[in-house]
Structure 1
Amino acid sequence: MPFPFTPNHVQLIAACYPPNANLLTSGSDYRPNSQELSRLTYYASNRPGKINKLCGELERRVRVDCKKAHTGNLRARATLLITLAILKALATECRRDISLLSSSLLGSISITLSSLPKDLEVVARAATVYAAWTTYTDGHLIGADRYVTEEHMNCLQVFSQMGRADGSSTDHEVRNRTRLLGLSAVLGVVASDVLYYSSTQFLPQITALVPALIIPLLSVELGALEHEFSTVRDQLTSPYVSGFRARPAAERRAASIHLHVDGDKGPSSGDIANTALRAMSLLLEHSNANQAGMILRAVFDCLDDIGGWQKTEHCRWLAVKMADWTQYQYRYAIPSRLVEALVEGQDAPTSTPRHVALAAMIRTVFTSPTPLVNLSTSDIISSLISLILRRIVIDTEDTLLSTLVDCIASLGTHVYYADQIQDLAGELVSRLSLIETTGLGNGKTPSDNARAQAVRCLLASLLGLIHAADLHEAARDDEDGRRKSPTVASPALAENHVKTSRRTKVSPEVFHETLSLLCDSQYSVRADYAAAVVMYVKNEIPRLGDYADGDGVRRARPLVEGPAHQAATLTSIMYGDSTTRLLNALHADIYLLATSSVLGFNTGSSSGSTPPLSDVGDAPTDSTTAPTTADDSPPGSRDNSRRSTTIPPRTRKTSVMLRLLQNAPRRLSASANASASLSDYGNIFAILSAVHENLPVRALLTGLPMLLALDGACQYDNTTDPLVARRIRALKELLARVWIVVGNVWSCVEVTEIAQKALSSQHTVSLPDLHSCEPGVLHPPTNPVPFESESSETQLPTWDSEALLMAIVSNNNVQSATGLDRQTLLRRFAAQWSPEIAYKDSIEVQTSYDGYNDKISPLIKVAPGLMHIDNMSLQSLARSTRGVGVTDLREALEGRKSMSNPNLANRAPSLSTLEHTSTLTHGESPQHPLRQVRSRPQQRNKLGSANEVRDVLNKLGIGKQNGSNMLKSSFPLLQKSEQNRLKPPSIPPYKT
């Protein structure tokens, strides 16, 4: 019986409790009186001003009951359970005024969890109240109300700790029950507005709840985790949990959290993982790019705290699923943040499990079928390259290097625009050129092994990048049987998807910058680059007019190649397109490698010197054979590397290569012995074979003079040094094998018979095969095969070079493919050839030919460059031989004169790509020439300028002519100023 002066709200609350005698027997549910509870909720919903008093009274009861229940009072425990049920009913019925209940409700939950954390029944009832509050609140009090924010964070941390509870002191059933309760409460927060409303409070909440989602996932086997993921994927989450944020508060329904019944089979680890997966997927589905980065940062912190980086497979699986759960337009944040986290630890003295796991996660995300739009591949590859170089400076044998190479290669599986692979390859090539010329570090020169390792890593990355982007083409070629040697897929990319990729090939101009690596001072670099050249020639290089039949023979195709097409192709080959220039430089480098005694750029310093081989002898040191660097500094100068960094890498590389090629010996002798090993000659044979088989026409026109010059350098007499004799024997065998390949390609029986007879009649050495190179895999450095000691034999494989040459120029296949007769071919092949001339042809474009497909006018090409300088003769560029008529005058009056000729305008011309061919087809295909198209003017002037009209009238003879000389000066402005100085000004008989 209440006291007469008891407030009404207190009487309504007291009426909801059963009598004290019936508290302990009120059943296992401990529910308040339903009729009185309805009266209480009706009173609160119709009088929002009384809610604070009601909640204050209920909070006071909770605090008193918690204090008594903590000491073991069962009546207080029962009363506490009923009070929590009343709070749940008020939160549900007064959902429109949930902000008025938030303070007292969160305070009641917080004191309950802190007082009775081990009582799972009480905790379950508190979790139900907490889930109701997260369902109906809009989160605007988080961050604005300090007390509400603190109590919410306290509750969230308690539930998160329950979700990651361990079983050290309790059995597995109790542990799983505790985890399931905590995860259920956390799931309510993940699906609520309370997490996403305040941007400043998002990170603290994520930091508190993410461990509860990660630890259960790492506690089960990967197979069970995949099974639970398929269950989550097939069984959609309840719409009241996954989509209630889009519903109005009146239509939302709060989840009821119940404790598992004693005696039944307790929840398994799979059930816990299932709940964690649902919460994690919802968390990422509702997050933007910035929030996804915060989630990933919280995951990293959790893995650091629990040592979860040791479970690399779980980390890889989690990274892929996180990228898949994130919204389509925000998925790029996952790999970007992974790369950032990996770069943050680049200065660690040794690779840690964190580094290994992060690199594996990056590679797995890139090779997964999940599309990653808006991914900045350029920034990512730049970061990964810098990380590789940094790790090499610290430790050349770092275990992380191979995984980083795989990461760069895996970028090729995501091609979102046609030139993406070429852009990424250009970034790799630019770093290769910089390392090759200036080394690693800022003015410092690390060891030879560090530089060689850096070059090998970037080479492997380049090959893996191209191969990953071209997997679908490789698979199609393997099925059709058109490839002679199948391409081995990288183990890192073996599990990835095969997607259609319409991309442009890596142009020869890009690959041209790396050719000097064939003459590097380190054999491991030369061997890897030889494999890269072979792979590029077979799979990537454009073949304009170069192809062979299925049997490897190059024959003409009259139905496909008409006379005009053959003439255009021959013009492109003869005058030098990008592929021809690449082959010219390649043959020059091959000659240098086969004959030069000094290899590498920094030939004067210790870092770039070539160590003498045991079978070669000491290299000459006289000034006639040892070239200097581009700086012309003494070999021992300390400022050599410092000054060389001021010179552009390409300029320095060209200068050094020209010096090396100028000093290349024209005949092998004891004073000019080559530094190449026996393996180098085997690599040269592999390169030349690939070039002649895949680019037969270009290889013949550019490579046959090199074969003749190399044959002339292998002259042997009785006074030849034994070491030189071994090298000459290897070169002779190399040339004979190449001639056999040439004869087979062009179906020239005479050449094949001569070369085979020379090989079979004499004792020859066995050239080592080119080592297998898997794209995207960093294999250990390759050691060269030395020359074997042999008896003093004087006979070498010999043949008549003139007979070989005459057989080639007389071959019908050669004449029909090149379009040249026998005499023209003979003059071309017998012309003087040197590596210096070939290298200059590769870097100097002849003015008589600007490329087969380049149909843009030379005036358009040169005008942009001239626009940036004060060039008084620019007007002479637009001079035309046609007559001037009324049409020109009309265009001048209407302002169209400058628009019809961009060189007359006072601005750089622009080209429209409306009628240009697509870059998806290769740029050197003769079927799709580039056509010059006038760009659409933004705004047409109604009237022309006075200068244009006056110029046309003067050409028509209406204006006053400057003398009788009909030849116009190339500098009309200067001429006009000179005339004005000498003569009085004259006014034409017209006005403008």
Structure 2
Amino acid sequence: MHLLFTPNHVGLITACYPPASALLSSGPQYLPNSQELSRLTYYASNRPGKINKLGSELEKRIRTECRKAQTGNTRAKASLLISLSIFRALATECRRDVSLLTPSLLASVNVTLTALSSDLEVAARTASVFIAWTTYTDGHLIGVDNNVAQNYISSLRIFSALGSVEAKTLDHEFRNRTRLVGLAALAGAVSSEVLYNTSSHFKAQVSVMVQPLLVTLLHAEVSVLERQSNSIKDKLKSPYLAEFRTRPAMERRAASIHIHVDGDNGPSTTDVITACLRPLSSLLQHSNGWQLGHIMQAVFDSLDELRSWEKLDQCRWIARKTCEWTQYQYRYAVPTRLVERLLESQDATSTSALQSALVAMVTTVFTSSIPLVNLSTSDIISNLITLVLHKVAIDPDDVLLASLVECIASLGTHVYYSDQIQDLAGELISRMVVVETQGVQARDQKNSKRSRAQALRCLLAGMLGFMQAADREGRALGDTEDGRERSRTISGSSPPQSPTLNIIPAQEPQGRPSKRTRVSPEIWHDTLSLICDSDYTVRADYAEALVFYLRTEIRKRGDFADADGVKRIRPLAEGPIQQATKMKLLIQGDSATRALNAAHAYIYMLATASSLGFDASSQGSSAHSAVDTPSVNILPPTPSTNPPSLSGRPENLDSHHQAQAQRQHPRRSMTNPPRKASVVQRAMDALPPRISASTAATASDYAHILVMLTVVHEQLPVRGLLSGVPMLLKLDGITNINDPIDAATRQRLWAIKEVIAKVWLVIGNVWACSELVKLAEKAISSMPGPSTLPMAESPEAGVLHAARELVQFNSAESKPLAQWTGVNAETALMALVSGERVQEATSLDRQGLLRRFAQQWSPDSALRESVERPSNFESLRGDGISPLLKLSPALMHIDNVSLHSLARSTQGVGVTDLREALEGRSSMSNPALAKAPSVSTLDHTSSIGASDLFSNRLTLARSRSKKRRLRTSGPDEVRDVLGKLGIGKQNGNSLLKASFPALQKADQR
């Protein structure tokens, strides 16, 4: 009944309800009168000032109806459903002024959900009102009105609870319908501007919405998730989100109890999964980097609360899809945040499900095909290395270490600039140098030795792993020679080997363009000392790593072999100048040659030293056990700049690579610290002159020596020949012992001679030297008994495998050395230098090769040769003339006046020349005034370089220009110098006159 004094807005609202007697019969839709509702919405849209009163009146009615409906009043429930429909109509029709309706609407939604959230019909009608508001609101009131913000967040929490309901009393269909109602409301909030309007409330909203989106996904199979994620690209919306039950109450109840009812198939689990994926993907697609960080934190909190870190497959899928759905320029934040969360949990005493899941998620992101632009791989690998060292310090046998190594290796799949792999390798090697020399600060000091060895093994495996991963993504085939050298590596036709020799097979080249460059020998150089590490497990792993590096990484420019394993000279298709340049680099030394020199020095030390290891206390330790190394903290972040180098410029093969290397790698290598260099020097000084029972190398070490030397000569024939044969002769020399020896010494001599014989066989096969092959095969076949070398294992590179067992010499076994003398070194050398292919490849004749191979070799000299010499192309040269000016007259057969003038200006005619002329003239008249000419350092290249670590002998030789100036001077010389300086009378032969003839003729006129 319309009362006389009833306000107009109240009367319009009351008219929308059916009579009290007809409320129950208005179901199941429970909708207001359509004609009266149109009058109400017309009134509200034309009078915005009345919207606030309309909202307040509806809120008051809803509060009353909710209170009555809680007691079971069905009329009140029916009236509540109609009131909610009126609110939705007002929000839809007054969309421009929806902010005026917001306070009362959100308060009504919150009151209704708080009172009747278990009633699915009421919750669905409330969700429709909420979705209508989120569709048209701009969200400004959320950041201004505290009551509005509280009602909004409270409503989100209730809808989130509905979207993740797990009540066991509910049947499967009713649970799915309840979840769909809550997820529909959350989808409306995700697609609304209210989520992104205020940054202060974004975190609060996301922390509420993420968990219900993950609950269903974490309990689904990955195959179902993948299939449904593909389907949401085609379907815009789910059919279950636009409607609710249209049946009477009795039928609705029956349908919820009975699963199979004809004509009423409820929503399936896949429909719920789709309803979760759609808002989750929308949330990620519209978030920036800062917002993505809050989303990731909400995901972590949800997984913690749900205790779902054990679901590795689902966690990996979520990480991969998070990256895929995120905007292209913000994807880097996903793995970055995962690694940060991993570091937050590093202090755990044991590996938790959280750590295992996070590592698996990071690895999944890196190994996927999703590009990650702006990813800071340097920071990522630094954090992962820090975590590895931290876990090793706590427990060297932590099960998470293998997963962390795999995670480090997965970084190789994301190469976005050419030197990225080199930068990552430099980061790892810098940490390895610190661990090698200073150890690891283990929590239990008893495990400090094992922790150090395990840390080195993890870093080595990680470095090999990301190089392999980068190869799978694309191998460098930029120039034709690189392609040839890859295709001509030894694959399966290596020379006959002993059954004890098992070499890692060469990898096949990739057929697509490169994404990276190789790891240069300058970077790898600092790891070579691990050949002589005090721990056998490290030595064994490094032997494997060195073999892998020689096969796949080191540049083989001009040093490749054919498919049958034989080194042949390539036709001079590139021209004689380039061929001569390559031969000069091979003979005089380049970065690969320097690395091989150092490798041979350390191999010799491994074979002969009585103690191994270059850490602080390795000298004097036993050969077969790690040493007590003073531990230091190695966990601080890696410095941004690389350690200084001992040498000058990097090695280059052409001007382009030289310029690029100088810009990107101003150092040759990170270099061993001086402390380590001094330890290496002491170790070389302590090398025994002969093999004895105290020699530290074991049978396993000699097996690894054979593998390393074999790969050197197969992969780098020329460099290996020039740097390895002198070492081989030196090693053979210390085995010639005529005095009586014990059984232990005899076994070591036997092993060395076997290694030498098999290396000679490899050299003979590579260079097709039949005489040398016959000599080596005869010596090997004459061995009395089986080989003394154990089987050299070849596990998968780049994976942290179990530590290999050490094979010692059998102390009870005694073999008389006199029965087998091995290969005669002199005969083998003469056969080698007589080889035609050796002479052609090295551009040396037989006598030149003899002089080259017969030179005095020592590990000290090899290490000095492994350090790059300072370049001679400096501005302060001996003759003061640049190479360009010296070569130009030979190339230009013309009288270039400007060039001659420029060349004279570099000869340094100045006050020094005048002083020397005057000194010489005075010495002629008065011998007492004569004095020795001063020796200037301007005409000398500095001899102070990195090689001074191994030699303190510095020499200063006078230049040829100084020798010429030692003769006495006369008056004519003084006059000539004055003339060159333009002082005094100018004659016709003046050098200055030649540069400006026109001006001088004008002066004469």
Q: TM-score range, shorter-chain basis?
A: 0.7 to 0.9
Match of 2:967 in 1: none
Q: Is 1:324 the equivalent of 2:324? A: yes
**Identical columns (%):** 50
Amino acid in structure 1 at the alignment position of 2:400: L
* Residues in 2 aligned to 1:356 and 1:498: alpha-carbon distance in whole angstroms: 35
Match of 2:597 in 1: 584
1:556, CA displacement in angstroms? 1.0
- What is the SS of the residue equivalent to 1:447? helix
- What is the SS of the residue equivalent to 1:524? helix
Q: Is 1:776 the equivalent of 2:798? A: yes
Question: 1:559/1:571 Cα in 2 relative to 1: closer, same or farther (>3 Å)?
Answer: closer
Match of 1:651 in 2: 674
Question: 1:365/1:720 Cα in 2 relative to 1: closer, same or farther (>3 Å)?
Answer: same
Question: 1:71/1:603 Cα in 2 relative to 1: closer, same or farther (>3 Å)?
Answer: closer
Q: How does 1:477-492 map to 2 (within 5 A)?
A: 484=491
Of 258, 268, 292, the match for 2:244: 258
Amino acid in structure 2 at the alignment position of 1:466: M
Q: How does 1:455-854 map to 2 (within 5 A)?
A: 455-472=456-473, 484=491, 501-560=514-573, 562-602=575-615, 604=617, 609-610=621-622, 612=624, 649-670=672-693, 673-717=694-738, 719-763=740-784, 764-788=786-810, 789-793=812-816, 794-843=818-867, 845-846=868-869
1:220, CA displacement in angstroms? 1.7
* Most deviating of 479-488 and 398-407: 479-488
* Residues in 2 aligned to 1:665 and 1:255: alpha-carbon distance in whole angstroms: 85
Q: How does 1:300-319 map to 2 (within 5 A)?
A: 300-319=300-319
Per-residue displacement from partner, 1:57-100 (whole Å, max 9, x unpaired)?
01000011111111111111111101000000000000000100
Match of 1:408 in 2: 408
Q: How does 1:186-225 map to 2 (within 5 A)?
A: 186-225=186-225
TM-score in terms of structure 2 length: 0.79
Match of 1:48 in 2: 48
1:958, CA displacement in angstroms? 5.5
* Residues in 2 aligned to 1:655 and 1:955: alpha-carbon distance in whole angstroms: 55
Question: 1:390/1:275 Cα in 2 relative to 1: closer, same or farther (>3 Å)?
Answer: same
* Most deviating of 354-363 and 264-273: 264-273
* Residues in 1 aligned to 2:883 and 2:826: alpha-carbon distance in whole angstroms: 52
- What is the SS of the residue equivalent to 1:118? coil
Q: Is the 8 A contact 2:394 2:443 kept in 1?
A: no
* Residues in 1 aligned to 2:629 and 2:335: alpha-carbon distance in whole angstroms: 45
Q: Is the 8 A contact 1:488 1:774 kept in 2?
A: no
1:489, CA displacement in angstroms? 12
Question: 1:313/1:456 Cα in 2 relative to 1: closer, same or farther (>3 Å)?
Answer: same
* Most deviating of 138-147 and 306-315: 138-147
Match of 1:30 in 2: 30
Q: Is the 8 A contact 2:417 2:516 kept in 1?
A: yes
* Residues in 2 aligned to 1:30 and 1:188: alpha-carbon distance in whole angstroms: 23
* Most deviating of 437-446 and 524-533: 437-446
Match of 2:182 in 1: 182
* Residues in 1 aligned to 2:862 and 2:313: alpha-carbon distance in whole angstroms: 53
Match of 1:629 in 2: none
Question: 1:651/1:193 Cα in 2 relative to 1: closer, same or farther (>3 Å)?
Answer: same
Q: How many pairs are equivalent?
A: 842
Amino acid in structure 1 at the alignment position of 2:865: D
Per-residue displacement from partner, 1:323-381 (whole Å, max 9, x unpaired)?
00000000001000000000111111111000000000000000001100000000000
Q: Is the 8 A contact 1:120 1:259 kept in 2?
A: no
* Residues in 2 aligned to 1:805 and 1:171: alpha-carbon distance in whole angstroms: 88
Q: Is the 8 A contact 1:885 1:956 kept in 2?
A: no
Amino acid in structure 2 at the alignment position of 1:470: D
Match of 1:152 in 2: 152
Q: How does 1:290-305 map to 2 (within 5 A)?
A: 290-305=290-305
1:291, CA displacement in angstroms? 0.8
Match of 1:269 in 2: 269
Amino acid in structure 1 at the alignment position of 2:676: K
Q: Is the 8 A contact 2:504 2:547 kept in 1?
A: no
Match of 2:451 in 1: 450
Question: 1:233/1:775 Cα in 2 relative to 1: closer, same or farther (>3 Å)?
Answer: farther
1:653, CA displacement in angstroms? 2.4
* Residues in 2 aligned to 1:399 and 1:961: alpha-carbon distance in whole angstroms: 90
**Which runs of 5 or more structure 1 residues have no equivalent in the other structure?**
242-253, 491-496, 614-618, 620-634, 851-856, 864-872, 892-896, 898-953, 968-989
Q: How does 1:803-952 map to 2 (within 5 A)?
A: 803-843=827-867, 845-846=868-869, 857-859=873-875
* Residues in 2 aligned to 1:256 and 1:173: alpha-carbon distance in whole angstroms: 17
* Residues in 2 aligned to 1:687 and 1:487: alpha-carbon distance in whole angstroms: 11
- What is the SS of the residue equivalent to 1:798? coil
Question: 1:725/1:390 Cα in 2 relative to 1: closer, same or farther (>3 Å)?
Answer: same
Per-residue displacement from partner, 1:570-623 (whole Å, max 9, x unpaired)?
2112222100000000000000000001100236469x933558xxxxx9xxxx
TM-score in terms of structure 1 length: 0.80
Q: RMSD across aligned C-alpha pairs, in angstroms?
A: 3.6
* Residues in 1 aligned to 2:22 and 2:364: alpha-carbon distance in whole angstroms: 62
Per-residue displacement from partner, 1:143-190 (whole Å, max 9, x unpaired)?
211111000001000000111110322222221111111001001011
Match of 1:84 in 2: 84
Per-residue displacement from partner, 1:255-287 (whole Å, max 9, x unpaired)?
745348633222222111111011110010010
Q: Is the 8 A contact 1:162 1:181 kept in 2?
A: yes
Match of 1:389 in 2: 389
- What is the SS of the residue equivalent to 1:235? coil
Question: 1:487/1:766 Cα in 2 relative to 1: closer, same or farther (>3 Å)?
Answer: closer
- What is the SS of the residue equivalent to 2:802? coil
Q: Is the 8 A contact 2:439 2:448 kept in 1?
A: no
Per-residue displacement from partner, 1:613-648 (whole Å, max 9, x unpaired)?
8xxxxx9xxxxxxxxxxxxxxx99989999xx9998
Q: Is the 8 A contact 2:448 2:628 kept in 1?
A: no
Match of 1:61 in 2: 61
Question: 1:576/1:714 Cα in 2 relative to 1: closer, same or farther (>3 Å)?
Answer: same
* Residues in 2 aligned to 1:74 and 1:140: alpha-carbon distance in whole angstroms: 37
**Which runs of 5 or more structure 2 residues have no equivalent in the other structure?**
256-263, 478-482, 493-502, 645-670, 890-894, 907-977, 992-1002
Per-residue displacement from partner, 1:297-324 (whole Å, max 9, x unpaired)?
1010011011100101110011000100
* Residues in 1 aligned to 2:136 and 2:115: alpha-carbon distance in whole angstroms: 26
1:654, CA displacement in angstroms? 2.1
Q: Is the 8 A contact 2:474 2:515 kept in 1?
A: no
Match of 1:902 in 2: none
* Residues in 2 aligned to 1:463 and 1:776: alpha-carbon distance in whole angstroms: 5
* Residues in 2 aligned to 1:611 and 1:805: alpha-carbon distance in whole angstroms: 33
- What is the SS of the residue equivalent to 1:196? helix
Amino acid in structure 1 at the alignment position of 2:855: A
Q: Is 1:347 the equivalent of 2:351? A: no
Amino acid in structure 1 at the alignment position of 2:244: H
1:479, CA displacement in angstroms? 12
* Residues in 1 aligned to 2:127 and 2:512: alpha-carbon distance in whole angstroms: 47
Amino acid in structure 1 at the alignment position of 2:685: Q
* Residues in 2 aligned to 1:101 and 1:15: alpha-carbon distance in whole angstroms: 20
1:509, CA displacement in angstroms? 0.5
* Residues in 1 aligned to 2:181 and 2:628: alpha-carbon distance in whole angstroms: 74
Question: 1:169/1:679 Cα in 2 relative to 1: closer, same or farther (>3 Å)?
Answer: same
